Structure 1
Amino acid sequence: MGFKCGIVGLPNVGKSTLFNALTQTAAAQAANYPFCTIEPNVGEVAVPEARLTKLAAVAGSKEIIPARMNFVDIAGLVEGASQGEGLGNKFLANIRETDAVIYVLRCFENDDITHVRGKVDPIADFEIVETELMLADLESLEKRKANIVKRANTGDKEAKAQVALMDLALNELREGRPARYAKVPADDVKAWNMLQLLTAKPILFVANVDEASAATGNAFSKLVEERAKKEGALAVVISAQIESELAMLDEAEGKEFLETLGLEEPGLTRLIRTGYELLGLQTYFTAGPKESRAWTIRKGWTAPKAAGVIHGDFEKGFIRAETIAFEDYVACGGEVGAKEAGKMRSEGKEYIVQDGDVMLFRFNV
């Protein structure tokens, strides 16, 4: 599991520069003109996890396997995208299956990089892009609804429930509000998510600032942070240019570079940590001589469900989970030491996995 984020924004706000930096590739061409991204770009990155390295050292692991995160970068959206303006609308389908949407907002002045609307205004940029996503959702629902209504009229209970959820979303969208504002009953959340509405997803704001503002932010990024609070969202201040330069350096050089800028860690690390917080995710580990590995799960998951991330058979045949807290695993020198010190616990089906748990699952085939 990990998570998948769609990156959206107007042209020339730094989306592709950020994508290139985060995935440490040049797969997305960053250029100073609208629509330079003419195909959706999908990149996968390792989730930074310092604890994993420590675990591997203690366990004597031959291999370290981090959790993964996907970014989907689409062409810059413009006003009118939902009516076919620009290229962005063609690629909206590529972010319908993502877990969250990242709005990249330009928070820097630069006469050499054209702003598609002629001035820097991150809040106006956000509102334009969100409006286009709302219009795309509205069109999608209206197209799909007629067939579902026909099924519902035959007495199909599932179709009736689906129509009710569609109406819930349509009520918000027709009032000019994103679908995430709808109050969805807890029992209907799974069916709601299956509607794959762009504006129903959690959102994360990235305020793309100039290098000088990377550590402290600026007036533009402060506006973004205020809007994020209003939306019940989270915001991260990043300089895509710095991340781009950082991607070209080795670990030691990168650390030195960050220190000169007054930064403690790369923007990628902050972005992923914020994304985990937004989606309610956490990490557990498996460790041994062969490999130490990080696994991403949602907070509140039970041991059997967490085991299912490794393999469905682990969940179906779950017996128990031998569990050691990360700190105890390291302090006791590994599994044997933790067991001798009474720090290994045998947890059953009702156990709620905690962040940092080191687990060994017992199951029947």
Structure 2
Amino acid sequence: MPPKKKEVDVNVGPWMLGRFSKALKVGMVGMPNVGKSTLYNSLSKSHHSKTANVPFCTIDPSETRAFMEDPRFDWLVAKDKPKNEVRAYVTVVDIAGLVSGASKGEGLGNAFLSHIQAVDGIVHVLRAFEDDDVIHAEDTVDPVRDITTICSELRIKDISIMKSKKEMHAKTQTAAKSKSPNHFKKWQEEDACMDKILECLEADKDVKNNMENWTPGDIEWLNDYGLLTSKPCMFAINMNKKDYVRKKNKFLKPIFDWVNANAPGSAMIPYCGSYEEEMQDLESDAARAAQLKEDETTSAMNKMITTAFHMVHLINFFTSGPDEVRAWTIRKGYKAPQAAGCIHTDFEKKFVMADVMAFDALKEHGTEAEMKAAGKYRQEGKGYEVQDGDVIFYKIGK
């Protein structure tokens, strides 16, 4: 009889929803003309994505790297004065606008939904400004209506996906019975999981908002299915400059109430797309800082990037020295050898040991020598789970 599966905390390691990979992406999703491509341009600090006042300006998804500002990285650079610097980034995808009926192929629905399936987290871009010069797919501005439409379309698509999977699964019942009792038991467990998922979706609940009802086994199947409503999300609220600076807007409270009711725990980040684009057009960081000071406000871009990065369970560890300071991106839950494999694939196979310093302790003590003197310079083996902010030196065998 196989050993009983150990119960695992579904909030950590591979038991989180989502792919167990470092190559994770977030996709910007919203109705047409809510400001996705303008936000994309600001995040990428480029102007490669088309912007226009017409529906479906973006058809093929664009992809960029949004680099994070990180005071830990800056401190290591100041300490080691390296010849080369490599910051962490999150990959952002600009996806075509959705309209009601997308799950049935309306507008660019089929392409839109397939592009969402290819990303690991969703940035819902909501338009919270009125402007007669910028048309809206539904003629009026109502961000709660828009996000309700989008989430409904995602659930409808997931229901369709799960019904197809269940039909295919039913065809394998006889084969599972004929193999062995264990095979059939596994078949029954997956069938019961499929029923639970359909029950959740048909009750107008997203998979990610039903975590208390999923077992570790359910999480494994859900991560296989990659359903649209299982992806973590955040909400980027696009306001006009006046409302953004004064932090007031008639749409904010209804959005806040909707998110708390339908996506509890998800981040909400107000910003002004046109203003952020103006900031990126300025010639230098000094000019941007001066303009922000004059306007008595701040940019929302780094908060947006950092939140998206952690939303898909990514963390950083650092390698640091006079040749290079680099932030390495890994999925939360990686063990030391897996993290070493991000530096070079051979390092995972030839891993011997990791010399580890927690960043906060290194900053407190100042140097590696002081860390050793304080007993804070640790040697970790294959079972060590890398923590966000670790500064690591790997020892690799031949």
Instruction: Decide: shared fold, TM above 0.5.
Output: yes
**Number of paired residues?**
364
Q: Which residue of 1 aligns with 2:229?
A: 199
What is residue 379 of structure 2 aligned with on the other side? 346
More divergent stretch after superposition (253-262 vs 67-76): 253-262
Q: Which moved more, 1:147-156 or 1:333-342?
A: 333-342
Correspondence for 2:203 = 175
Report the residue type matching 1:35 in the other structure.
F
Moved more, 251-260 or 320-329: 320-329
Q: Distance in 2 between matches of 1:168 and 1:269?
A: 38
Change in Cα spacing, 1:273 to 1:68, as seen in structure 2 (3 Å) is: closer
Residues 80-133 of structure 1 show CA distances to partners (whole Å, capped at 9, x for unaligned) of 111221114323212213221111111111111112212221111100011111
> Are 2:311 and 1:278 aligned?
yes
Partner-residue secondary structure (3-state), 1:154: helix
Q: Say yes or no: does 1:226 pair with 2:257.
A: yes
Deviations 1:194-235 (A, max 9, x none): 201111111111111111122414221232223222221221
Q: Which runs of 5+ in 1 are unaligned?
A: none
1:364 aligns with 2:397: yes
Moved over 6 A (4+): none
| Cα distance change on mapping 1:253 and 1:195 into 2, 3 Å | same
Alignment partner, residue 254 of structure 1: 288
Q: Tell me the TM-score normalized by structure 1.
A: 0.90
Identical columns (%):
37
Instruction: For residue 237 of structure 1, report the CA deviation from its aligned partner.
Output: 0.9
Partner of 1:142: 163
1:58, 1:330 within 8 Å by CA — same for their partners in 2? no
The SS at the match of 2:219 is: helix
What's the secondary structure of 2:225's corresponding residue?
coil
Q: Partners in 1 of 2:244 and 2:95 — Cα distance?
A: 25
The one-letter code matched in structure 2 to 1:248 is: D
Greater Cα shift, 173-182 or 39-48: 173-182
**Are 2:83 and 1:40 equivalent residues in the alignment?**
no
AA matched with 2:250 = A
Question: Which residue in the other structure is 2:274 paired with?
Answer: 241
| Structure 1 segment 60-71 matched on structure 2, within 5 A | 60-71=81-92
1:2–1:67 contact (8 Å) kept in structure 2: no
Distance across 2 between alignment mates of 1:188 and 1:312:
31
- In structure 1, the partner of 2:44 is 23
> CA 1:309 to 1:184, structure 2 compared with 1: closer, same or farther past 3 Å?
farther
Q: Take 2:248 and 2:349, find their aligned partners in 1: how far apart are those partners?
A: 49
Give the Cα separation in 2 of the matches to 1:7 and 1:300.
Answer: 26
State the alpha-carbon separation in 1 of the partners of residues 221 and 352 from structure 2.
Answer: 30
- CA shift in 2, pair 1:181/1:333, >3 Å: closer
| Larger mean Cα displacement after TM superposition, 333-342 or 132-141 | 333-342
After TM superposition, list the pairs within 5 Å mapping 1:204-215 onto structure 2. Answer: 204-215=234-245
Q: Is the 8 A contact 2:101 2:109 kept in 1?
A: no
2:34 to 13, 21, 34: 13
- Using a 3 Å threshold, how does the CA distance of structure 1 residues 190 and 256 change in structure 2: closer, same or farther? farther
Does the CA-based 8 Å contact 1:225-1:234 persist in structure 2? no
TM-score, scaled relative to structure 2: 0.83
Quick one: which of 122, 130, 155 aligns to 2:143? Answer: 122
- Report which stretch shifted further, 68-77 or 89-98: 89-98
Quote how far apart the aligned CAs of 1:148 are.
2.5
Q: State the Cα distance separating 1:10 from its structure 2 match.
A: 0.6
**CA contact 1:2–1:69 (8 Å) conserved in 2:** no
Task: State how far apart, in whole Å, the 2-side matches of 1:74 and 1:222 are.
Answer: 27
CA distance in 2, matches of 1:142, 1:150: 13
Question: Cα offset for 1:276?
Answer: 4.1
SS of 2:270 mapped into structure 1: strand
- Aligned ranges 1:283-302 → 2 under 5 Å: 283-299=316-332, 301-302=334-335
Q: The residue matched to 1:296 in structure 2 has which SS? A: strand
Q: CA offset at residue 11 of structure 1?
A: 0.8
Within 2, Cα distance between the matches of 1:347 and 1:207? 43
Task: Give the aligned residue type for 1:186.
Answer: P
Aligned position for 1:81: 102
**AA paired with 2:271?**
I
> Larger deviation: 138-147 or 79-88?
138-147
How far does residue 342 in structure 1 lie from its aligned partner after superposition?
A: 4.5
Do the aligned partners of 1:209 and 1:221 also contact (CA within 8 Å) in 2? no
Whether the 8 Å contact between 2:98 and 2:109 is mirrored in structure 1 is: yes
Name stretches of at least 5 consecutive residues in structure 2 with no aligned partner: 1-21, 177-182
RMSD: 2.4
Q: 266-275 vs 10-19, which deviates more?
A: 266-275
2:103 and 2:113 in contact (8 A); partners too:
no
Deviations 1:34-88 (A, max 9, x none): 1111211112222222321221232231111112211111111001111221114
